[in-house]
Amino acid sequence: MVKKMERGGITTHIFYFLLFLVVPVLVFPRLPGETFFEINRPFAQDTMANCLLLVFFYLNYYILIPRFFFSKRYAAYISFALLSLLIAFSLPHLIVNYLLRVKDFDHTLLPQINNHFPGPPADSSSLFFLAEELRRHLYLFFAATFFSFLLRTREHLSKLKEEKLSAELSSLKAQINPHFLFNTLNSIYVLSIKKDNKASEAIVHLSGLMRYVIKDANNYKIPLQKEIEYISNYIELQKARLGKTTDVQFECSGDAGNKEIAPLILITWIENAFKYGINPNIDDCIVEITLQVTDTGLRLYVFNKKVQHSLNTESTGIGISNTGERLKHLYPDKHVLQISENKETYSIMLSLQLV
């Protein structure tokens, strides 16, 4: 992916070099009797102006737009943009005139422009050339402004979307909240009092879960096996916390191999089942989780019976919505999500392509 982006970036740079340096020479009319790429005073001035406008393109893209326009400092942005146009229009004239004074270029590389206009007076031809030159500069100036705005705005929106997804990931990580940890530690304490061998197992599961959330979940993608281990640790901790009050069924099959997956893309559905399908005061609580790894991806099935809670635990749908957005962004056209819900049960079926 990185190499593809680098190749695309190089192609974009080549495109803009051609746009600013070659296209104006081909598109705009030349002076009478003048051939393409003839080294004369107009050509030298145009080439220098085009290079300066190309510099403005990158200046606008990397500095002016992010520092001034996106910061709503519009007056400063317009001032810098107009100053850049003034420099691109005037500086080539100043440089060429200086060279003509320092060394006699009139009869060598840079003949006087009036020599190209045998008929009209000198002042008329100069005004015509000046108008054509200004038109070229304005064309390139607005082209540089438009394309730099287009690319920077697209990158800005993409960055905002990435930040939103990052915030959503942080939100998902935060779902391993202190309340859950307190209940889990309390359950481990009770097991240790009873000298139950499951206490040491629960500590191992909790250690693995915390290591994953703190370290592994910060990566863009992780080995699928680590995601499965995280889910297994989470479910085992829930079993230790709930004891025999809930029928928790978990089945995992298939070989994860070298497959990778975005972190915390599956756990939301499982957390949702434990959150809204469990009440220790009700006997028939059921949570079923099936994870099947296939040759090309995986299938996740989660089912829970809806139960009444003494506290207000009405679902806001934020975690589910965030995960749905992450799926659309990270796995476009590579996932199928089916949600079935009625008054008594809730289930999801997620198919995900990983290769």
pLDDT of 9 over the 60 cut: no
Which range, 26-35, 147-156, 187-196, 325-334, is most confident? Answer: 325-334
Contact 188, 199 (CB under 8 A): yes
pLDDT of residue 116: 40
In the prediction, which pLDDT does 346 show?
93
Burial classification of residue 71, based on how many CB atoms lie within 10 Å of its CB (0-12 exposed, 13-18 middle, 19 or more buried)? exposed
The total number of residues written for the chain in this structure: 355
Percent of the chain whose predicted confidence (pLDDT) is above 70:
70
- The pairing of strands 246-253 and 285-293 is parallel
pLDDT single digits (tens) 278-296: 876 777 789 999 999 999 9
Q: β-strands 297-305, 345-353: how paired?
A: antiparallel
pTM of the model: 0.54
Question: How many CB atoms neighbour CB 31 within 10 A?
Answer: 17
Average pLDDT, the chain: 75
pLDDT in tens, 294-332: 999 999 999 998 887 644 444 445 567 778 878 887 898
